[in-house]
Amino acid sequence: GAGVSQSPRYKVAKRGQDVALRCDPISGHVSLFWYQQALGQGPEFLTYFQNEAQLDKSGLPSDRFFAERPEGSVSTLKIQRTQQEDSAVYLCASSFSDRASSFGAGTRLSVL
Amino acid sequence: AQRVTQPEKLLSVFKGAPVELKCNYSYSGSPELFWYVQYSRQRLQLLLRHISRESIKGFTADLNKGETSFHLKKPFAQEEDSAMYYCALNNFNKFYFGSGTKLNVKP
């Protein structure tokens, strides 16, 4: 594909529901990042993968958040028992070696 | 602790006027800084990075370690420059973003 692809683009969840957000990085990009962007704020780091290894998950806000990238390509961010404060745009980015990232369009999660 | 501050939420200028979007950072080591831009209904994209010392779409940014700043400048703003601009600092592949400045270039 031409760029980072995220699905779904929009997700509405009832409080307490589990959600799964998908990211397809640019082919060949070894690094993959997840960010959370609240309304009116800049993106905030959640976690970082190099191939299938999750090298940094210090930004995950709670143990309800879980990310995986089992084959070093597609990644899934899972949020269990969603809360209203989880409402945000979740951005995925990937990069090869120059550390500047290409971003996806994001998934807008609304928790009611 | 690492932090990126963009003090202006909104900056309005007329077409042809100079523009400067401010970015200040706090970082103990040698920072790696970037500017990202998000045009209306488009995804976030890299504008420029301080390492390459490049000029993209007429924009430049100089790292000033003494003032811990990385302000984005353009001598003559164009209407198509209207967008959200984010300053970002890379710390071992963890990017810290500022809260963004919305640039509005009026005709």
What does the pLDDT look like over B64-105, one tens digit per residue?
989 999 999 999 999 999 999 999 998 887 889 999 999 999
Residue A1 reports pLDDT greater than 60: no
Per mean pLDDT, which of A3-7, A93-97, A100-104 is the most reliable? A3-7
**Average pLDDT for residues A62-79, to the nearest whole number?**
96
Chain A: give the shortest CA distance to residue B96, in Å: 7
SS3 assignment for chain A: CCCCEEECCEEEECCCCCEEEEEECCCCCCEEEEEEECCCCCCEEEEEEECCEEEECCCCCCCCEEEECCCCCCEEEEECCCCHHHCEEEEEEEECCCCCCEECCCEEEEEC
A104 touches A5 (CB < 8 A): yes
Nearest Cβ partner of B100 from A42, A58, A104? A42
User: What is the end-to-end Cα distance of chain B in Å, rounded?
Assistant: 41
Taking contacts as CB-CB distances below 8 angstroms, the residues of chain A near B40 are: none
Give the closest of A45, A58, A105 to B95, CB-based. Answer: A45
Those residues with Cβ within 8 angstroms of residue B75's Cβ, 6 or more apart along the chain or in another chain: B18, B58
Alpha-carbon span A8 to A19, nearest angstrom: 10
Closest approach of B36 to chain A, Cα-based (Å): 10
pLDDT score of A101? 81
**Closest residue in B to A96 (Cα–Cα):** B93
Q: How far is A13 from chain B (nearest CA, A)?
A: 23
- Listing DSSP states for B7-63 in one string gives --SEEEEETTS-EEE--EEE-SS--EEEEEEE-TTS--EEEEEGGGT--BTTBEE--
pLDDT of residue B54: 77
Summarised one tens digit per residue, pLDDT across range B1-41 is 779 999 999 999 999 999 999 999 998 888 889 999 999 98
Residue-wise pLDDT for B32-63, tens only, equals: 899 999 999 899 999 998 877 777 899 999 89
Judge: A100–B93 Cβ closer than 8 Å, yes or no. no
Q: Which of A5, A48, A95, A101 to mutate to test the interface with B (most CBs of B within 10 A)?
A: A101
Of A43, A58, A102, Cβ closest to residue B97:
A43
Q: Counting every residue, how long is chain A?
A: 112
The residue with tokens 């070093």 is A72
Give the Cα separation of B77 and B84 in Å (integer).
14
